[in-house]
Structure 1
Amino acid sequence: MDQNALTLFVEIVEAGNLSEAARRLRMSRANVSHRLGQFERELGQQLLRRTTRRIEPTEIGLRLYAHGCAIRNELQAASESVALGKSLQGRVRLSVPSGYGQLVMSDWLVEFKRAYPGIVLDVMFENRVEDLMREEVDIAVRVMSEPPQNLVARDMGPVHYVACASSAWAREHGMPAELGDLPHVPLITSAVHGRQLRVSAYLGEERHEVLLEPTLISENFLFLRKAVQASLGVGIVPDYVFTEELRNGEVVAALREWRLSIFGTHMYMLYMPGRHRTRAATTFIDYMLAKARETRDSAMSPVTAE
């Protein structure tokens, strides 16, 4: 059996269609299709069912794919064994949320790159989980309450939302004193497109839910940060957006007795189970989890509302 053809077949299955496989392999789509056809004729078996948008492996194709993955993983493991003693090499494709990625993880990523200059970091700032299923990324970091059952989820710590405003806005307008005040102030926050924004609020075991209609909405937390600092209203954002400003009083928080949540209560690092992880990816995962633990352990005590 042609090992190169088997490798090509594995790439096609993981890409989901011939065009994407061609892009990843830096080949023409016609060439990929031709070589796949040759492989199927050599084996005398149909390996893929083609639809208008995707391709799916047949039963024999699934079995062959499993063998192909095992062979590829063994080759990767062999290559890494040879590389022991040399500087760590490899590539890590990472997807991180825009806010947490830029405001918290950026420094960690820079430190990691300095420590492991031979590892290529390919970082996307976005919020889609499905990229992990399509193998567009190796690792994703996401805010959620419950991680998907089909993914490995490593808890990076709780996410605390705060209702906050610039000290200038607070002096002029006053801060919300009750949970029910939130719908009556100009709110700045992120929301899921096409859905009514709901904030969950917990006081001990007691849970409340409040419908909100923000006056400024964006998935870009750096923009939301500027809007709050510009005294445009009350932001409902994760506390890491204003760590220093909450400490020095430039930004003040209200309703601190409540635990607020919009998208989820924890930050998770997600990756596919069963997929071979390179030494570069394993090293990266351990490094980031250690940084998250370090940050969590040294977290400041809650800021007193003014």
Structure 2
Amino acid sequence: MDWDDLRVFLGVARSGSLAEAAKGLRLDPATLSRRIARLERAAGATLFLKSPRGYALTEAGHRLLPHAEGMEARARAGEAALAGGEALRGRVRIGAPDGIANYVLPGVAARIAGAHPGLGLDIVALPRVFDLGRREADLAVTVSPPKAGRLMVRKLCDYRLSLAARRDYLDAHPPIRTRDDLRGHRIVGYIPDMIFDADLDYLGEVGAETPGLASNSASVQLGLLRAGGGIGIVHDFMLPAAPELTRVLPDDVRLTRAYHLTRHRDAAGPLVTRVADLLAEGVRADVARLETE
């Protein structure tokens, strides 16, 4: 397979959009479409499902993704070796929702900092949208990809969420065999008028009622569930930190969302670009690892 075509594949897979990938790759969308078609012919498989919402990976696309990312990593390692393996120096601020900021980014940031002692990383954990135009952060992790502004957006990874509760809460309340059985149970969730991203409005999707215990923070919601406060939606990558919780309706309620990494086009210098690459690699690896624990 042609490496240039795999670069196009990665660009479209991460952004979920031909137009957004074209901006990042500095190619026109028609060229990208032809390159994707050429790659699909070479692979003998359809790699993307096209819909009005954008481009989504097929099963074959998901199988190809880690191999393409491996080739990308080897190419970057070669570039670093030719450049003398120069360590990164400077400071980069990363804004992120508190769930990923508390349970994924610390490990990723610690490894990056360990490899680059001259690099400083700030993690700003706030449940809101960051204004990159006003330099509130150099890089921002978002759920829904921003649509406006001079921004560069790449998809980081999909992540999964489950309905969960303490075992002793479940033992003390009526059994839950279907979604209808959620009625009457105390629900933990976001404060409805403080949901800053429509993709975080989970409860309507699972047929649950307005939360009886609510917070604008995913980490506080996890604390409420760990305290036996009720039933709520939890990121799967947070569950290893809460062994007292168990999934509820695991065969029926399993949500999927995606994280995106965004930066302003005026902050596209080599330091931020390299940190973005390292961050993306680390987040993908750690989310996949934590979700399987």
Name the TM-score class by shorter chain. 0.5 to 0.7
Is residue 292 of structure 1 aligned with residue 283 of structure 2? Answer: yes
Structure 1 residues 181, 153: closer, same or farther in 2, change over 3 A?
Answer: farther
Instruction: Output the CA distance in 2 between the equivalents of 1:210 and 1:131.
Output: 33
**Structure 1 gaps, min length 5:** 1-82, 202-207
Per-residue deviation, 1:84: 7.7
Q: Deviations along 1:195-237, whole A, 9 cap, x unmatched?
A: 7995368xxxxxx563621111112233222221111111222
Letter in 1 for 2:257: T
Native 8 Å contact 2:87 2:118 kept in 1: yes
Native 8 Å contact 2:138 2:267 kept in 1: no
Greater helix fraction, Structure 1 or Structure 2: 2
Match of 2:216 among 196, 212, 219: 219
Native 8 Å contact 2:188 2:212 kept in 1: yes
Q: Deviations along 1:39-88, whole A, 9 cap, x unmatched?
A: xxxxxxxxxxxxxxxxxxxxxxxxxxxxxxxxxxxxxxxxxxxx987642
Instruction: Output the CA distance in 2 between the equivalents of 1:121 and 1:198.
Output: 30
Per-residue deviation, 1:134: 1.7
Q: TM-score, normalised by structure 2?
A: 0.61
Instruction: Output the CA distance in 1 between the equivalents of 2:105 and 2:277.
Output: 14
Instruction: Output the CA distance in 1 between the equivalents of 2:267 and 2:194.
Output: 37
| Aligned positions, number | 207
Letter in 1 for 2:207: V
Letter in 1 for 2:277: D
Structure 1 residues 209, 99: closer, same or farther in 2, change over 3 A?
Answer: closer
Determine what percentage of the aligned residue pairs are the same residue. Answer: 23
Q: TM-score, normalised by structure 1?
A: 0.59
Structure 1 residues 219, 260: closer, same or farther in 2, change over 3 A?
Answer: farther
Number of the residue aligned with 1:170:
170
User: Highest CA radius of gyration, 1 or 2?
Assistant: 1
Structure 1 residues 114, 132: closer, same or farther in 2, change over 3 A?
Answer: same
Q: Deviations along 1:112-136, whole A, 9 cap, x unmatched?
A: 1222121222221113324213222
Native 8 Å contact 1:98 1:219 kept in 2: no
Number of the residue aligned with 2:202:
199
Number of the residue aligned with 2:246:
252
Is residue 271 of structure 1 aligned with residue 260 of structure 2? Answer: no
Structure 1 residues 97, 276: closer, same or farther in 2, change over 3 A?
Answer: closer
Letter in 2 for 1:199: Y
Secondary structure in structure 1 of the residue aligned to 2:128: coil
Per-residue deviation, 1:244: 4.8
Number of the residue aligned with 1:190:
190
Mapping 1:92-103, distance limit 5 Å = 92-103=92-103
Secondary structure in structure 1 of the residue aligned to 2:154: strand
Structure 1 residues 269, 86: closer, same or farther in 2, change over 3 A?
Answer: closer
Instruction: Output the CA distance in 2 between the equivalents of 1:109 and 1:296.
Output: 14
Structure 1 residues 86, 245: closer, same or farther in 2, change over 3 A?
Answer: closer
Native 8 Å contact 1:143 1:159 kept in 2: no
Number of the residue aligned with 1:109:
109
Instruction: Output the CA distance in 1 between the equivalents of 2:175 and 2:155.
Output: 33
Structure 1 residues 266, 87: closer, same or farther in 2, change over 3 A?
Answer: closer
**Structure 2 gaps, min length 5:** 1-82
User: Where in structure 1 do 4 or more consecutive aligned residues deviate above 6 Å?
Assistant: none
Native 8 Å contact 1:189 1:237 kept in 2: no
Mapping 1:56-71, distance limit 5 Å = none
Letter in 1 for 2:259: M
Instruction: Output the CA distance in 2 between the equivalents of 1:98 and 1:157.
Output: 17
Per-residue deviation, 1:178: 1.5
Number of the residue aligned with 1:210:
207
Per-residue deviation, 1:280: 2.3
Structure 1 residues 236, 112: closer, same or farther in 2, change over 3 A?
Answer: same
Native 8 Å contact 1:140 1:270 kept in 2: yes
Native 8 Å contact 1:187 1:213 kept in 2: yes
Per-residue deviation, 1:161: 1.8
Instruction: Output the CA distance in 2 between the equivalents of 1:188 and 1:279.
Output: 43
Native 8 Å contact 1:158 1:266 kept in 2: yes
Per-residue deviation, 1:281: 1.3
Native 8 Å contact 1:159 1:266 kept in 2: yes
Native 8 Å contact 2:88 2:119 kept in 1: yes
Instruction: Output the CA distance in 1 between the equivalents of 2:160 and 2:122.
Output: 28
Number of the residue aligned with 2:118:
118
Secondary structure in structure 2 of the residue aligned to 1:127: coil
